[in-house]
Amino acid sequence: MEETVSSTKDRQRAAARARLEKEMAERSAAARKRRQRQAIIGSALAVVVIAGAAVVLVRWLNPKKETATAAAGATCNWIKSDEATGGKVKDTGGTPPTTVPNSGAGTWTLDTNLGKITAAVDKAKSPCTVAAFDYLASKKFWDNTKCHRLTTEGIKVLQCGDPFATGNGYRDTDGQGGPNFMYAEENLPANQNPSYPKGTLAMARTQMEATTGSQFFIVWEDISAESLPPQYTVLGKITSGLDIVEKVGKDGSDNANSQGDGHPKTEVNIKTLTMTPA
């Protein structure tokens, strides 16, 4: 009997992990374009290597400029996303800056119908993700949306961030939306167990690398590396309001996807999402 229970839990854990990874999976019709994007990403990496070599040469020729170069910040590669690459896209009319600050802290605030949830973010650890949130928050990207997914089996997370998850009730397409750009993962919790401790604020992505967008999840119970591999950007740590998420978790989901995975029975409606300096 114990072996059967264990096997069931293993299957639930594996299924939950697979669903999280496939939340925004590209459509099969876009396979060719995905390969093209991978080639672009590879080219971009080559450019970064060349740029890095140039920086070393500049520093060798003029060491006095080293401090100024270091202060310039991190370089982010914003990858175009459109309907052809899968999912629904909300056009923001642009992208964040290419060069962004890579030092300092900030506060992420989610004002919901159930109260405020805040998190501390570190630009040194995830500069591009923080920059994306700064940019999208300035566009009121998440305002008047809702958290569309809750898992209570295998992994325990509340997932939000789809700009199209609005209105009363839930739709089959909730969870498929994002902005007009994607970017690479960063600050991955490698060699850490649990990989995503309770209170972690992390980013959702597809099964492919460099597909982080606007969707995020709040971990309301420790997640081991076995249950969820360290492939998802850690944006920050919840500093207040985790009790709200725990209450939503205890209220359960409607099991729309499977047992322990669906829409939260207690709706979490996002009034605003803001980013402020610490």
Residue 199 pLDDT level (bands cut at 50, 70, 90): very high
Place 36 in a pLDDT band, splitting at 50, 70 and 90.
Answer: very low
Digit-coded pLDDT (tens) for 108-157 = 999 999 999 999 999 999 999 999 999 999 999 999 999 999 999 999 99
Sign of CA dihedral 249, 226, 215, 137: positive
Task: Residue 114: give its domain's CATH number.
Answer: 2.40.100.10
Residues 6 or more apart in contact with residue 256 via CB below 8 angstroms: 170, 262, 263
Average pLDDT in the 191-204 region? 96
Instruction: Give the global pTM.
Output: 0.78
> What is the predicted pLDDT for the residue at 114?
98
With respect to residue 103, please indicate whether it lies within any of the assigned structural domains.
Answer: yes
pLDDT bin (cut points 50, 70, 90) of residue 16 is low
Q: What is the pLDDT of residue 82?
A: 82
Determine, yes or no, domain membership for 240: yes
Is the distance from CB of 97 to CB of 130 less than 8 angstroms? no
The pLDDT score that the predictor gives to residue 48 is 32
166 occurs within a structural domain? yes
Residue 57 maps to a domain: no
| Contact in structure between 89 and 79 (CB atoms under 8 Å) | no
Q: Does 42 score more than 80 pLDDT?
A: no
The mean per-residue pLDDT over the stretch 21-36 comes to 45
50 pLDDT band, cuts 50/70/90, is very low
Supply the range of the domain harboring residue 84.
Answer: 2-32+78-277
Percentage of residues of the chain with pLDDT beyond 90: 69
Establish if 49 belongs to a structural domain.
no
pLDDT for the residue numbered 83: 79
Sorting pLDDT into bands at 50, 70 and 90, what band is 274? Answer: very high
pLDDT one-digit tens code per residue, 233-263: 999 999 999 999 999 999 999 999 999 999 9
Q: How many domains does the chain have?
A: 1
Does position 34 have pLDDT exceeding 70, yes or no? no
In a domain, 59, yes or no: no
pLDDT band for position 39 (50/70/90)? very low
Does some domain include residue 48?
no
Q: What is the per-residue pLDDT for 278? A: 76
**Contact status, residue 126 vs residue 141, Cβ threshold 8 Å:** no
The answer to the question of residue 69 being in a domain is no
